[in-house]
A and B are shown apart, each in its own frame.
Chain A
Amino acid sequence: MRRPSARAAIIPLLGLVAATMLIPVPAAAQDKYPSRPIEFIVPWGPGGGADQVARKIGQLLEADLKVSLPVVNVPGATGQTGHAKLLSANADGYTIEVMTGDTFALAAMPNSPIKLAEVIPIGILIQQASGFFVAENSPMKTWADVEAEAKKRPLKVAITGFNSPDDLSVSYFAARGMKLQPVPYAKPGERYTSIIGGHADLLYEQAGDVRNFVDSKQIRPVIFFYGSKVDAFPSIPTSTSLGHDITLPQFRVVLVKAGTDPARVKMLSDAIGKAAQSPDFKAYLKEQYADEASYVPADKTQAYMQKWLDEARHLMAAIAAKK
């Protein structure tokens, strides 16, 4: 048998070497920031609102900061699993997180695992009305139908996780005599399947997140939790118009870990501000049925979140008083 030449063996080897060069190997932390990819934690599964906004803003930031912002989905426990990941990373500005109102509502509880002091918020990206949705083929067509049905039998409500605004909203109505059973689905895909497949009777969601299901006539909103009518759905009642003191709009904020170098924080928040003002992002907000003036700059974010938290506490107290 002819022994193949060593050269023949070298060729695949060279291929391997060439292939290794394609892997982006991060350089050691240097003075220049950012000099390597910034990990963008989404504490929810792919395809949901938090994921969508992170990927959108990440793409805009990439062009500005000249590094990539890979999204890492870490779903679970109302966003606490992903948040734990931010807190276990170094405070060097190379790990950021998009937190949603769902997770932040946990901060309203005593002994909460979520503490505003452990993080630095660097800008609110999006504010949206949440609502209850039913499947298009459901016998319940309106909020009045839902109220009537929930007096007769327990309705299952697909929510993101326990103690979220979803859960609070469900408790609010449960405290008013409606039979509602919240069921947590951390992965948006499972949550949407549960309503379309008929495993849940109601879905708590923001209209923009489920736009393709709404547009394809698979689900429809029955009530929005908002202070004013939602422009795209003029016929759908709002909590305020029905006399319910419950709004808690969904918001999504970008965080870095407390202790991060202020110069880096400023650099990131400036970049986010620029991206949030871009026509591209404005178009995205419109597509998401979001508030046009969603963006809150870093210096005002803390106050916004504090106010939101007070509202959540107020709601919790109201629920507790009613029970």
Chain B
Amino acid sequence: MTRITIDPITRLEGHGRIEIFLSDQGTVENVCFQVPELRGFEQFCVGRMAEEMPVITNRICGICPEAHHLAASKALDALFGTQPPPTAKMLRELLYMAFFVSDHATHFYALGGPDFIVGPDAPPSERNILGVARKLGVEVAGELIACRKRNHEVIRIVGGRGIHPVAGIPGGWSRSISEGERVVIAEAARMNVEFAKQTLALFERIVLDSPLYQDLLTSDVYLHRTYSMGTVDGNNQVNFYDGNIRVIDPDGEELVSYHPNDYCQQIAERVEPWTYLKFPYLKKVGWLGLTDGVNSGLYTATPLSRLNASEGMPTPLANAEYQRMYESFGCRKITAARYQPIHHRMATHWARLIELLYAAERMLALVEDRQITSKETRIIPRSADFAGEGIGSVEAPRGTLTHHYVSDGRGLLTKVNMIVGTTNNHAAIAMSIKRAAEKLITSNAPDEAILNRIEMAFRLYDPCLSCATHHLPGKMPMVVSLRDNSWSMLREIRR
């Protein structure tokens, strides 16, 4: 068997490492997507006071501290048996919408989007924010930076600190906002709505009007018919902060809608001997390996899966875009509001922009509600016995995030478990890489094209692979090595 390793060598942090195993016939047998292993998180948390978790866990990921902060705060609400007052929930969600706008916008303009904006076969040195600025103009790239800036400021105001928010506490939020702050945030939210609309218009102009990109969007390279997961509100519409977890099957039928507390009954984690990465799957359906279809319990938790699993968006502009996307894929309606699911994974980019618009509209609705400036932002837990369990769940930009804590009577943690957003998608990412590799590895495609298409396969999931995401400019990020049975090097591709 031949083993191909794609190893993004960074000087300071390990990132995803891709290994492709070829059979003796040269066909792709398996794909293994490794992430750097960080050890001892459970031991690090056990014995600590439960209420420290929102500020501990918001440091485990450099990309989505806000998601961890909120999942932890919600787990503590449950653990301490309190329900935050309405204003606290609104403030949490407000912060979260600002985060989603900034995160999703950055993905489109600077990270995954340049594959489209600048072109999938453009040189790597152009497929980034610099290339976007050159292609679309400095003003457009400047809009992204301005968007990030105003939303970082909202996060600082609402969350009490810029990079790692601190306001989340059991039973609520430690900080209220003034009328003056509300006005500032409302202005930011209005600009976000305009920016999101412009971004969708840009996507239409660049991608939807181009036959080349239409082909890419509907290409079967990244087509997988898996289950779709997402958090839904009482109307089964998309919600990022709270609700039931809904799962639909590849044909669009609801498999289950469960309270996040029941995640252990619904989700199992498969351990395979060839990787330490765990693969979550749906218990009800079962494990069939890295394969799709109705009998395989693999699911995705992504912007696309969230839309697939919902009866539309709760805000009007985003809902119109939702309908447009499904209709453009020729999906028929299977309920009054919901369409057949889309399985073309490149559509995740489009779904992400629809979510961007939703987050902006939702942010504006929250900040226009005068209840948001109420000073009642916390209900203090009254119980003196803290023995128990708490589970908190939110939709992180890259998938459903679950925190699960168990504490003793003093409120000291005895057990911690988490399923982070990207973990849900490990199997799906591996499948997309496998498919891309199958199409390309045996062809005579140039090295750069192989790397590009494999990179696009995982980039569309916007995966968060490292819990310590920082790096100085380092060395070469990708090395692919092909080895034969005896581990001798056959070929090496670098860039």
Q: Do A and B come from one complex?
A: no
